[in-house]
Amino acid sequence: MRTGFGIARLVFAALGIAAIVTQFASSASAIASKGGSVGAFVVNFFSFFTIDSNVLAAVVLLIGAFFAFARKDADPNWYTVLRAVATTYMATTGIVYNLLLRNIALPQGQTVQWSNEVLHVVIPLYLVLDWFFAPGRAPLRNKALWWIVGFPIVWAVYTLIRGPFAGDPVTGVMPWYPYPFLNPATSRNGYLSVSFYVILIAVVILVVGFGVVWISRRWPGSRDARVPHPELTTD
């Protein structure tokens, strides 16, 4: 099974990277053709939580493929935590996109439809399936949630602080936010609506993260739960 999941991880990592690169190239070309700032676009592009999460997912899958081929026993504990982080972010990306953002144009230039589906649906689904069924992970303790919530907090603060000073790479119009529900200028109740969505997404991340950690202790994909790791697993 480890060899099979190693191959699957290579395939989906390559698919995710191809989707990111294709969307980046398409958007950069579209913006350059309109005389826009490609430099501003690059910063904006990597300000999307979806892009950041998919980059992390690709890295985690590549590392996981290496361990699947090189180690026939359990994965390192740090990798299990990193994998839990990536799985939580990708599952949250899939949930938020399909509930709030599907059929809404995002400010990233020309959207490549197949890439969009890969990044928001295919990779999230695979990460979840990989977490359920791939062997080698350790049963995690709930304190792993601190690692899970760290980046989203930093990303939200960065986005809300940068937004009023960021601009559209073509028109230069400010403010610029990666997602429309984070823009107080277009939200029905301004910062009140933005606060609601930030709290909602934070709750989703916590709930999904808790589920990911719980699954690590209850689902048979984990290594022998009778021998818990003193730092990461339940007492």
What is the mean pLDDT of the segment spanning 87-116? 81
DSSP the chain: -HHHHHHHHHHHHHHHHHHHHHHHHHHHHHHHHTT--HHHHHHHHTT-HHHHHHHHHHHHHHHHHHHHHH-SSPPPHHHHHHHHHHHHHHHHHHHHIIIIITT---SSSS--HHHHHIIIIIHHHHHHHHHHH-S-BPPPPGGGHHHHHHHHHHHHHHHHHHGGG---TTT--S---SSGGG-TTTSTTTHHHHHHHHHHHHHHHHHHHHHHHHHHHHSTTBS-TTS--TTTS--
**pLDDT class of 234 with cuts at 50, 70, 90:** very low
Per-residue pLDDT at 17: 98
Q: Is the pLDDT of residue 163 over 60?
A: yes
What is the mean pLDDT of the segment spanning 167-175? 92
In terms of pLDDT, which residue wins out, 220 or 130? 130
Tens of pLDDT, residues 60-80:
999 999 999 998 778 899 999
Distances (CA, A) of 190 to 12, 47, 49, 185, 233: 39, 21, 21, 6, 42
In terms of pLDDT, which residue wins out, 74 or 176? 176
In terms of pLDDT, which residue wins out, 224 or 43? 43
Average pLDDT score, the chain: 89
Tens of pLDDT, residues 105-124:
655 557 898 999 999 999 99
Per-residue pLDDT at 225: 42
Q: Is the pLDDT of residue 157 over 80?
A: yes
Per-residue pLDDT at 218: 84
Least confident of 77-81, 176-180, 216-220: 216-220
The Cα 167–Cα 162 span in angstroms is 10
In terms of pLDDT, which residue wins out, 102 or 144? 144
Distances (CA, A) of 98 to 119, 129, 161: 12, 18, 26
Per-residue pLDDT at 106: 58
Q: Is the pLDDT of residue 227 over 60?
A: no
* End-to-end alpha carbon distance in the chain: 29
Q: Which residues pair with residue 137 across a beta bridge? A: 222
In terms of pLDDT, which residue wins out, 117 or 187? 117
